Chains A and B, each alone.
Chain A
Amino acid sequence: MRCRTMATLLCFALIASPLWAAASLLELTDDRGRRVQLDRSPQRIVSLLPSLTESVCALGACERLVGTDRFSDFPAQVRTLPKLGDLDDLQWERLKALRPDMVLASKSMRQIDRLESLGFKVLALDSQSHEDVKRSLRLLATMLGDRQSGDRLWQQIDREISTAKLALPGMLKHSIVYVELGPSMHAAGPGSFLGETLQSLGLRNVVPQSMGPFPQLSTEWLIGAQPRWVILQADPSKQYNKRPGWQGLLAIQQGRLCEFPSNDFDVLVRPGPRLGEAAHLLVQCLTRVMQRAS
């Protein structure tokens, strides 16, 4: 009698098991360690970070985007999408009206809590290093249904960086470079993704590892360090020339300065699928300036 009951229960369990398996087709773990379960691959995606927008498009799912943040502007087709502000001042009602089934954001707590309490599925992704980009691409590819495409995209980025490294003239190898990220002299340290790109290209960073990924430098310190090259965002009014002591930099005196217009600078500072293009931009600018100087 007991055997029969056990057998019946076992049968039921076996019959029901496909239901358990199908219950959540996709289980993704984001950078908070939170598990997000999806029944199917998301079809209406909102991205709140430009690098994530670019990643989704690079993975071939641009048409699934229904809304982005204010700063997403690449590729061109995302410019027509509704802009929802950014994490600091999100347009909650418009977001709700778009009915997304997935929201991609960076790891900022309060807004993500509110998003989840409103019933949205959120993937919070880090973007500080090359490893972060690789992991994000893999996660996004899994989310979109084709895990391999993430790895393939990363290999392509890797190849582009290697090609850029080969294109770097021998004279420029191991030059010490200072990359300025912001107007108050915030530098890209070795721990940042830009710093890692510099390292991959065979260039040295004026900032040591101990100072962290985004240290704020002083002109005094910089003059002591005397980087060979200065890379920053182009400013038509050349505000940086007015900094006291700035002219003491040999790189400035001898014209070893790379200024990037804001479009190109965006490519440099976005940790997304255009990392390879960023590497090429750096090499091209350095080569161009070097040839002009000689």
Chain B
Amino acid sequence: MQDRLVLLGLGLASLVLAMLSLSVGSGGSLVVLWQSSELVKDLVVDVRLPRILGCLSAGALLGLGGLIAQALFRNPLADPYLLGTASGASLAVTLVYAAGLGALALPSVAQLGTVLAAFCGAWLALGLSLLLVRDRRHGDPDQHVTLLLAGIIVALVLGASSDLLTHLRPELLRYRLAFTLGQTSLLGWDAVWQMSGGFALLLMLSSSRADVLDALTLGHNTAASLGFNMAREQSRLVLLMAACTAIVVAHTGLIGFVGLLAPHMVRPFIKGMHRSLMLASALGGAFLLSLADLLARTLWMPREIPTGLLTAVIGGLFLLVLLKRRS
């Protein structure tokens, strides 16, 4: 019962925040929604509304991915970018920009666009990580640690490749930086449909795996003794987590801390198991990212700060609070 209240509360908070964001513009204008001027309608419908809805869906995906990551790796500091997906997406985007600007000039590659590139790059990096752990014993209770290490290796290597590319072609630096900082300013309606559709699908699929996540909190061996096929479940969870990340990263770049924080934010208030936690974490993530986006648009009006910068600041502050509470 309390869980339902918490979920409702989170939902309402996100809605109120969304309404507030809709009425505040980065041009320094407080727009009253029922003004019927043509320009206001255009502004709100074309620019602001998809951006806010995009933030809600992206935040929800990150919150969901973060929860799965933390349960999968049994680590409270896990975030959904852990298996090299971030570096893979970053490298792919840098390559596409390299192909589009200057010497390489392969038009077909450039036309592919950075959205598709980031999506594919994330999956390829995940594939690499999985490839590295492929020949491990299936019953290995520490397989998640091996997977984590493989992810770190892939992230380092792909990151170094991106660094090398930007060193050889310094004009790519600002594009790579923009991607790494993460930005919500480019979210249009196509991004909204893709992310919200993706979220609905992934939430459904993840809810069916909620039992496994519950069991994993008791440890690998206990979970195995409960009858789960740990190898298969782990692969499923990894794929779910990667899917959440890939969709978001394709549209917003690398927005950090939302996936890390959202589960921690909601865990003290949710008494139930992962089934409720999933939705709560998603709503928490949606709220966090929308808040960061609102601040990013309004703090230094009329300039906009990359949203990823703000999530890092908010994230740092939240972690400080959590740390204080633990001690």
Task: Show the binding face of A for B, using Cβ within 8 Å.
Answer: 33, 85, 88-94, 96-97, 99, 107-111, 113-114, 117-119, 128, 186, 214, 216
Contact in complex: A186, B170 (CB < 8 Å): yes
Contact in complex: A33, B186 (CB < 8 Å): no
For the complex, give the distance between the alpha carbons of A33 and B300 in Å.
37
Candidate in A90, A92, A99 with the most chain B CB atoms within 10 angstroms: A92
Contact in complex: B186, A97 (CB < 8 Å): no
Q: Which one of B26, B114, B170, B303 contacts A93 once the chains associate, using CB atoms below 8 Å?
A: B26
Q: Which residues of A contact B186 (CB under 8 A)?
A: 110-111, 113-114
Q: Is B20 an interface residue (CB 8 A)?
A: no
**Given that A33-B107, A109-B110, A118-B188 are known contacts, is A91 also in contact with B47, CB under 8 Å in the complex?**
no
Q: Which one of B101, B102, B303 contacts A89 once the chains associate, using CB atoms below 8 Å?
A: B303
Q: Is B214 an interface residue (CB 8 A)?
A: no
Contact in complex: A90, B185 (CB < 8 Å): yes
Contact in complex: B188, A93 (CB < 8 Å): no
**Given that A97-B39, A114-B188, A118-B188 are known contacts, is A88 also in contact with B174, CB under 8 Å in the complex?**
yes
Q: Is B100 an interface residue (CB 8 A)?
A: yes
Shortest beta-carbon distance from B173 to chain A in Å = 11
Residue of B nearest to A114 (CB): B186
For the complex, give the distance between the alpha carbons of A183 and B110 in Å.
30
Contact in complex: A110, B114 (CB < 8 Å): yes
For the complex, give the distance between the alpha carbons of A118 and B114 in Å.
18
Q: What band does the interface of chain B fall in when counting residues whose beta carbon is under 8 Å from A? A: 35 or more
Q: Which residues of A contact B39 (CB under 8 A)?
A: 96-97, 99
Q: Which residues of B contact A99 (CB under 8 A)?
A: 39
Contact in complex: B304, A91 (CB < 8 Å): yes
For the complex, give the distance between the alpha carbons of A233 and B260 in Å.
44
Q: Is B193 an interface residue (CB 8 A)?
A: no
Contact in complex: B27, A91 (CB < 8 Å): yes
Contact in complex: A92, B302 (CB < 8 Å): no
Task: Show the binding face of B for A, using Cβ within 8 Å.
Answer: 25-27, 39, 42-43, 46-48, 96-97, 100-102, 107, 110, 113-115, 167, 170-171, 174-175, 178, 185-186, 188-190, 302-306
7 residue pairs of the A-B complex, CB under 8 angstroms, read A91-B303, A91-B304, A92-B185, A93-B25, A93-B26, A108-B101, A108-B175
Contact in complex: B188, A117 (CB < 8 Å): yes
Contact in complex: B304, A85 (CB < 8 Å): yes
Shortest beta-carbon distance from A51 to chain B in Å = 15
For the complex, give the distance between the alpha carbons of A16 and B171 in Å.
49
Contact in complex: B302, A89 (CB < 8 Å): no
Contact in complex: B114, A96 (CB < 8 Å): no
Top 4 A-B residue pairs of the complex, sorted by shortest distance between their CB atoms: A94-B27, A114-B186, A93-B27, A117-B188
Q: Which residues of B contact A111 (CB under 8 A)?
A: 186
Contact in complex: A107, B27 (CB < 8 Å): no
Contact in complex: A93, B47 (CB < 8 Å): yes
**Given that A113-B113, A214-B171 are known contacts, is A97 also in contact with B43, CB under 8 Å in the complex?**
yes
Q: Which one of A107, A109, A113, A118 contacts B46 once the chains associate, using CB atoms below 8 Å?
A: A118
For the complex, give the distance between the alpha carbons of A117 and B185 in Å.
13
Contact in complex: A85, B303 (CB < 8 Å): yes
Contact in complex: B170, A216 (CB < 8 Å): yes
Q: Which one of B100, B170, B189, B302 contacts A91 once the chains associate, using CB atoms below 8 Å?
A: B302
**Given that A107-B101, A113-B113, A214-B171 are known contacts, is A88 also in contact with B46, CB under 8 Å in the complex?**
no
For the complex, give the distance between the alpha carbons of A103 and B141 in Å.
58
Contact in complex: B113, A214 (CB < 8 Å): no
Contact in complex: A96, B47 (CB < 8 Å): yes
Residue of A nearest to B48 (CB): A93
Q: Which residues of A contact B306 (CB under 8 A)?
A: 89
Shortest beta-carbon distance from A102 to chain B in Å = 17
For the complex, give the distance between the alpha carbons of A113 and B304 in Å.
19
Shortest beta-carbon distance from A101 to chain B in Å = 14
Q: Which residues of A contact B303 (CB under 8 A)?
A: 85, 89, 91
Contact in complex: B96, A109 (CB < 8 Å): yes
Contact in complex: B100, A109 (CB < 8 Å): yes
Q: Which residues of A contact B178 (CB under 8 A)?
A: 88
For the complex, give the distance between the alpha carbons of A113 and B115 in Å.
10
Contact in complex: B114, A109 (CB < 8 Å): yes
Q: Which residues of B contact A107 (CB under 8 A)?
A: 100-101
Contact in complex: A96, B42 (CB < 8 Å): yes
Q: Which residues of B contact A118 (CB under 8 A)?
A: 46-47, 188
Q: Which residues of B contact A93 (CB under 8 A)?
A: 25-27, 43, 47-48
For the complex, give the distance between the alpha carbons of A114 and B186 in Å.
6
- Further contacts, 16 of them, CB under 8 A, given A90-B185, A118-B188: A85-B303, A88-B174, A89-B185, A89-B305, A93-B25, A94-B302, A96-B43, A108-B101, A109-B110, A110-B115, A111-B186, A117-B188, A118-B46, A119-B46, A214-B170, A216-B167
Residue of A nearest to B189 (CB): A117
Shortest beta-carbon distance from B121 to chain A in Å = 15
Contact in complex: A89, B114 (CB < 8 Å): no
